[in-house]
Amino acid sequence: MQLLRFGQSFTARASPHINMNRMSSIDDIDLDAFGPLADITEESLVLLATTIAKQVLQLSGSNGRLIHRIAGSYNLVHIVEVDGVKLVIRVPATGWGSGMTPAAAEALESQAATMRLIRGKTGVPIPEVDSLDTTGNNEIGAPYICMSFIAGRPVSQAWFDNSSLLDREELRLRILKSVAQTMAELSRLRSFDKLGSVMRNLDGSTYIGPVNAWQENDDGSLRIEATGPFDSASAYLRSQFEPNTANTVWAQAQAKVMDVLMQCLPALDSPSGFVLCPPDFDSQNVMVDEHGAVTGIIDWDLAHTMPRRLGCASYPSWITRDWDPLMYGWPKMAETEDSPDALERYRAYYSAELGKALHGRGDGEFTERSHIVEAVWNAVLSTRNRLEICRKFVQVAVGDHVDALDMMYDIGHGGYSEEAWGSLKASLTRLIFA
């Protein structure tokens, strides 16, 4: 089973007030995924951090302590303080047993290369990579990437917080404006000629390597699978698409709608070129201060270049949640979800602010419909989310006066006329790339 995130994306989504990287106490660690990595000792982590502090940061390294351990889905994150400076040591789930492959090592190297490229070419606030080891020949006996600590709190905590010094709506608008300005800064990076991960040559130059994705083994452990790179977004999506071959009404309906979406994939290839953007552009990975200003974008794990329609000009995922219905809890979770009308309002505001930040140049023209393009991308890559996304497309195409679920049933069991299907197909096509 392939595990995806936006940019691969979205299975890690949850309600916006929750840390959606599914990070939790180290006591809740998935032992199938992390195995002996769960037993990395505090002493070895402090020793590693102290060594890095001395050799890289030129600190004395005389005072170190582990202050936090977090278990994520794909990484163990350790925050160690040395001489008053916090370091973040991320250990990937592939850092033991059969997971330690050349592909896993290259994925870790790509993460560092991506972050160094962004820090070197833009003013986007992201962690600085201090040290990297793709082997187990070190103090903790496992691959790791060590980076600087980003202060602030994630948007996932701030978005529904009523205790802020600012009015909640004002705080939200400040966050969106600051995020738009940050993405405008990221857009300064040149475009690339392939869809894939950033790799670094010995001379410091970069090139595009394969797309890296998490794969789950039968025993629950994880590995990295590398494919590509790809000359077009449509080629990448077609290579990853897994059709639902079940002989059910819903599978048949889904197949017909997906056929329309797949026919629209070539539109992703225009305009040409690919850009870097956060691989999981969601609220848990955007850090802000008490005034809503972005202090950093974190989690560049498995980042790869994306088509320009889904690049820096796309919406943050926490304001497109209504287009991934399986993960959207409104209205039952109204206290922790925004209504469709509110999300539409925030998208309009974000689009306007990004346009201002780009001064009318760049890829801002794609922002307004990027949530629809994102939904196509997610439907192609996620067998789990696909049916509900297809239903969403049908509902928007026909309007709220028709029950899309009934219509999907009619389509699936053959009770939908060819004339009616032709009309719906045309409406779907217009909706996607009008």
Please give the Cα distance from 4 to 158 (Å, whole number).
Answer: 25
Half-sphere exposure of 389 (CA within 13 A, CB side): 27
Residues in the chain: 434
Token output for 281: 């552009």
Q: Which of helix, strand or coil describes residue 374? A: helix
Token output for 125: 């606030």
pLDDT score at 8: 40
Give me the domains of the chain, ranges plus CATH numbers: 2-8+11-149 (3.30.200), 154-197+230-432 (3.90.1200)
pLDDT under 50 in the chain at which residues? 1-25
Would you tell me how many other CB atoms lie within 10 Å of the CB of residue 23? 20
CA-based nearest residue to 389, from 371, 402, 414: 371
Give the dihedral sign, CA 130/133/138/141: positive
Please give the Cα distance from 319 to 321 (Å, whole number).
Answer: 6
Q: Which residues contact 81 (CB under 8 A, 6 or more apart)?
A: 64, 65, 67, 87
CB-CB contact of 94 with 223 (8 Å): yes
pLDDT digits (tens, 9 = 90+) for 348-371: 999 999 999 999 888 999 999 999
Token output for 357: 């930040």
Half-sphere exposure of 204 (CA within 13 A, CB side): 3
pLDDT score at 27: 65
pLDDT score at 26: 58
pLDDT digits (tens, 9 = 90+) for 301-353: 999 999 999 999 999 999 999 999 999 999 999 999 999 999 999 999 999 99
**Cα torsion at 194, 93, 90, 190 (round to 10°)?**
0
pTM over 0.85: yes
Q: Which residues contact 190 (CB under 8 A, 6 or more apart)?
A: none
Please give the Cα distance from 382 to 8 (Å, whole number).
Answer: 9
CA-based nearest residue to 416, from 434, 431, 394: 394
Q: Which amino acid is at 345?
A: R
Please give the Cα distance from 28 to 72 (Å, whole number).
Answer: 9
Token output for 200: 């670094």
pLDDT score at 20: 33
Half-sphere exposure of 116 (CA within 13 A, CB side): 19
CA-based nearest residue to 237, from 205, 261, 207: 261
DSSP annotation string for 172-204: HHHHHHHHHHHHHHHTTSPPBSSBSEEEE-TTS
Q: Which amino acid is at 254?
A: Q
Please give the Cα distance from 394 to 373 (Å, whole number).
Answer: 15
The angle, 0 to 180 degrees and rounded to 10, between the axes of the packed helices 404-413 and 386-398 is 110
Hunting for tokens 């800064």 — which residue is that?
A: 185
Half-sphere exposure of 139 (CA within 13 A, CB side): 17
Please give the Cα distance from 303 to 284 (Å, whole number).
Answer: 16
Q: Round the average pLDDT of the chain to a whole number and report it.
A: 92
CB-CB contact of 129 with 116 (8 Å): yes
Helices (H), 102-167: 102-121, 155-158
Q: Which residues pair with 41 in a beta bridge?
A: none
Cis peptide before 92 (omega within 30 of 0): no
Q: Which amino acid is at 36?
A: P
